[in-house]
Amino acid sequence: MTGPKILVLNPSGTDIYDEVTREVAIPAVASDTEVVIRNLEGHVPRTAFLPAPSVLLNALLTAVVEAEKDGFDAVVIACCDDPGLLDAKELVSIPVTGPMEAAVHTAAPLGRLAVIAPRIESGENENLPANSNWVRRRIHQYGMDHNFAGVRHAPCPHPSQSETERLLDQDINQLCDLVRGGMANALKDTGIKQSQLACEEDDADVLFFACTIWSGLLDPVQENVPARVLDPVATPVRFAEMLARNCINP
């Protein structure tokens, strides 16, 4: 019997993060689980970060429906705000999850969950949150207020609009490196300290870094805190794998 087939859907108008997503997602699951990475290129604007909901959701939901038709056993929407997740669940019969949903349910048996959120200034065609209230809304939505140790933030830079546009046209891999370099520096400058404070002052047992661009960059955090650090790509992929296996083999 073959294992489940999981789609990781990057809600981006380019393949900018597909390879780094693949590098984390595939080793996170069993060898008989197939993981495929897709994006929304050609259907949403090309941006460095998450496109605005007004241009994202229709394309995202269509891609989820297509995933079921293509034989996938589960879908991960690879953005920590879990955009379109509740609507997606209503449209298909296969499991659909997102990083925040997966994190709160993964953390529950392990202890109190604290979230470290980025604060990134929106660029053109983006709608990034100016504060961390979106985290609190998701925690409440998923019924996990009782296990929530709070949210802290690690501000992350956004490349200039001119630099973003130039690299989207000329060298998307360099743009990926530039963005992830800024996210890594945010961990060193603020993220590790905020993680330590979450453990010391908020009694956190589990830490979730709430941006998928932080995926694969969190070893320096884990080395400096006693809490378990959940990767924002590996966590939902493992969660989706578990859901898919339960559906395939009830």
Q: Is 100 helix (H, G, I), strand (E, B) or coil?
A: helix
Look at the chain and report how many structural domains it folds into: 2
* CA 230 – CA 206 distance, rounded (Å): 7
> What's this model's pTM, rounded to 2 decimal places?
0.95
pLDDT at residue 88, as a whole number: 98
Q: Which two tokens stand for residue 115?
A: 């979230």
Whether the per-residue pLDDT at 196 is higher than 80: the answer is: yes
Residues 185 and 84 in one domain: no
Quick one: which H or E segment has residue 119?
strand 113-119
How far lies 134's CA from each of 15, 38, 82, 83, in Å? Answer: 26, 25, 10, 11
Quick: pLDDT tens for 127-142. Answer: 777 789 999 999 999 9
* CA 146 – CA 202 distance, rounded (Å): 13
pLDDT at residue 249, as a whole number: 66
* CA 34 – CA 98 distance, rounded (Å): 18
How far lies 167's CA from each of 51, 57, 160, in Å? Answer: 17, 25, 11
Quick: pLDDT tens for 160-182. Answer: 889 999 999 999 999 999 999 99
Whether the per-residue pLDDT at 117 is higher than 70: the answer is: yes
Q: At residue 214, what is the residue type?
A: W
Q: At residue 220, what is the residue type?
A: P
Which CATH number goes with the domain that contains 28? Answer: 3.40.50.12500
Residues 123 and 84 in one domain: no
Residues 126 and 196 in one domain: yes
Residues 43 and 86 in one domain: yes
Residues 85 and 112 in one domain: no
Residues 71 and 146 in one domain: no
Residues 133 and 216 in one domain: yes
Q: Does residue 187 come out as left (phi exceeding 0), alpha (psi in the -120 to 50 range) or beta?
A: alpha
Residues 136 and 216 in one domain: yes
Range of the structural domain that residue 71 is part of: 5-98+235-248
Residues 71 and 91 in one domain: yes
Q: At residue 159, what is the residue type?
A: P
